[in-house]
Amino acid sequence: MTARALVIGEALIDVVERDGRVLGEHVGGSPLNVAVGLARLGRDVDFLTHIADDARGRRIADHLADSGVQLVPGSRTAKRTPTAVARLDATGAADYTFDIDWQLSGTPEVAPPVVAHTGSIAAVLEPGCRAAAALIDTYHVSATTTFDPNVRPALITDDTGARARIDRFIERCDVVKASDEDLQWLEPGRSPEQVAQTWLRMGPSLVAVTMGDRGAYAVCAAGEVRVPARPVEVVDTVGAGDAFMAGLIDALWSLQLLGAERRRQLAGIAVEALQRVVETAALSSALTVARAGADLPDRATRDAAAAATERETGTY
């Protein structure tokens, strides 16, 4: 049976604005971007979400199909498809305002996954966050579980409750990725490295942190790694963290470290292997920020960029 990924979480339409002017509408949502990113890298992906059978919902469904993602039955029962207005500042960074109803029910009718991923709105917004947590617990028995808090403060009304939910995912997941902005909200006053090391002691096999132009940091039981940011002309940062997450999962998949039966091997990942994994994830992210919207790279594009870098510098 072909190994598959299951991604659980929100799908929405990003309405992108700059200086009060709408630049366009893009299919988005952090978990959706991860699902699309994995599919574009050639992985088989099932995606469980909550959208409507309206014009925007159909656009999302078409985008998923075009990218090779299988939309899980029962995902199109919402009254309206969620939206997020992304207002870009002068640097291309986005500030979001959301209109979303997040609900899940039942166990998805999919083949047992080798990896199950969730995060962002799906992890904290009632009532669907409870179902997302239950599903991650269910799949932890047979799959590697991965998590990206991708915090959206505009949607959080109970800071303490949200932090508690996020802590629970960290304790239950094998791979955790966050941004330095996430950590500033979750653990103010502590460095990204300090938080990552604390999270590692809570249960994951590895924790990675993206830090914008300061690159990325990751830690596992064997040690820590740092990867500098790649020089790139940033169009916008929409989808950058999701591309990193998809690249991270894909790289671990290529090393045959996914699946519950490989949990011990994942926990024992060597520093040299983690360095390569994070470099691969950072490359996916760099290619994404160089294009408008969450336009994550396919494998051919990423491999070509990696080969070009190796030719130019003698390193990956």
Low-confidence stretches of the chain (pLDDT < 70) are: 1, 235-238, 290, 292-294, 313-316
Are 144 and 259 spatial neighbours (Cβ–Cβ below 8 Å)? yes
The domains found in the chain, sorted by start residue, are: 3-299 (3.40.1190.20)
Are 220 and 248 spatial neighbours (Cβ–Cβ below 8 Å)? no
- Dist. CA 143–CA 125, nearest whole Å: 24
Q: What is the pTM of this model?
A: 0.92
Q: Work out the number of other CB atoms within 10 angstroms of the CB of residue 223.
A: 12
Which amino acid is it at 13?
A: I
- In this structure, what token pair is assigned to residue 262? 């490989």
- Dist. CA 27–CA 279, nearest whole Å: 27
- Dist. CA 161–CA 121, nearest whole Å: 13
**What integer pLDDT is reported at residue 222 of this predicted model?**
98
Q: For residue 63, give the 3-state DSSP assignment.
A: helix
Q: For residue 125, give the 3-state DSSP assignment.
A: coil
**What integer pLDDT is reported at residue 292 of this predicted model?**
66
Q: For residue 153, give the 3-state DSSP assignment.
A: helix
